[in-house]
Amino acid sequence: MISPPDRPRLPRNTVCDLAGAERARHGRWQKSELLARKDVYGRVDVIRAAALNHLWATLGPSRANLAWRQLQTSIGLPSAALDVVFDPATRVAELARSPEELSRLLPRDRQVMVVDLGPGVRRADERLDAYLTARRPSTSGPSAAKTHAAQRTGSEPA
C-alpha cells in the first residue's frame, strides 16, 4: 500500500505507541538528535521511530546509533523492501530498497549484518492508518441518515 502524504498532526506519545517505541527511549533519541523534536509529528516521524526502534533492538544501541546517523535522511515513506546492510568491520551502513540492491550491497568476502526494516515500518504505517480511520467522523448513523435523506428531498436536516 502506498501511504498518503505526511498530513497527520500527532502528539509524541501517539508516535511512540504507533511505532512501538518506549517513550523514555524516544525522548533520549530526541535528546541525542537521532530523531527530531517537534510540537506535532507526522507519518514520516512514525516510520522513522519504528525503523530506529527495530535497528536498536537488532543491532544494539551503539551500532544502531552509528547506522542511523548514516541513514536517517534516507528513511521516509515505506517501500516494498527496506533493508539495512551494516558492516561491523568498516562501520558502514547502507540502505537497500530492492532485492537487487540488497544483492549488490552484500560483500562476498566478509560477514555483514542485514536488518529488514520493512515489516516493522509497514506495521507502524498500518497502525497509523487504523488510528486515523478510527478518528475520522462517522459517515453513518442517525445524523448522517438525516443529512442523506435531506439531500435526496432537497430539505434541510432536522
Q: Residue 118 falls within a domain, yes or no?
A: yes
Q: Residue 142 falls within a domain, yes or no?
A: no
Rounded mean pLDDT of 127-154?
64
Q: Residue 4 falls within a domain, yes or no?
A: no
Rounded mean pLDDT of 87-116?
95
Least confident of 7-11, 29-33, 63-67: 7-11
pLDDT at 153 over 80: no
Q: Residue 143 falls within a domain, yes or no?
A: no
What is the pLDDT at residue 139? 59
CA angle 87, 65, 104 (to 5 degrees): 30
As given in the structure block, the three cell numbers for residue 60 are 544494539
Distances from the Cα of 86 to the Cα of 1, 20, 33, 152, angstroms: 27, 23, 21, 61
What is the pLDDT at residue 57? 97
Q: Residue 5 falls within a domain, yes or no?
A: no
Decide: 28 and 16 in contact? Cβ < 8 Å: no
Least confident of 37-46, 66-75, 133-142: 133-142
Residue 61, domain extent: 12-136
What is the pLDDT at residue 11? 95
What is the pLDDT at residue 135? 86
Q: Which helix (H) or strand (E) holds 147?
A: helix 142-153
pLDDT in tens, 10-37: 999 999 999 999 999 999 999 999 999 9
Give the pLDDT band of residue 58 (cuts 50, 70, 90). very high
Structural domains counted in the chain: 1
Mean pLDDT value across the chain: 85
DSSP state of 1: -
Decide: 93 and 86 in contact? Cβ < 8 Å: yes
Q: Residue 85 falls within a domain, yes or no?
A: yes
How many Cβ atoms are within 10 Å of 9's Cβ, its own excluded?
10
Q: Residue 52 falls within a domain, yes or no?
A: yes
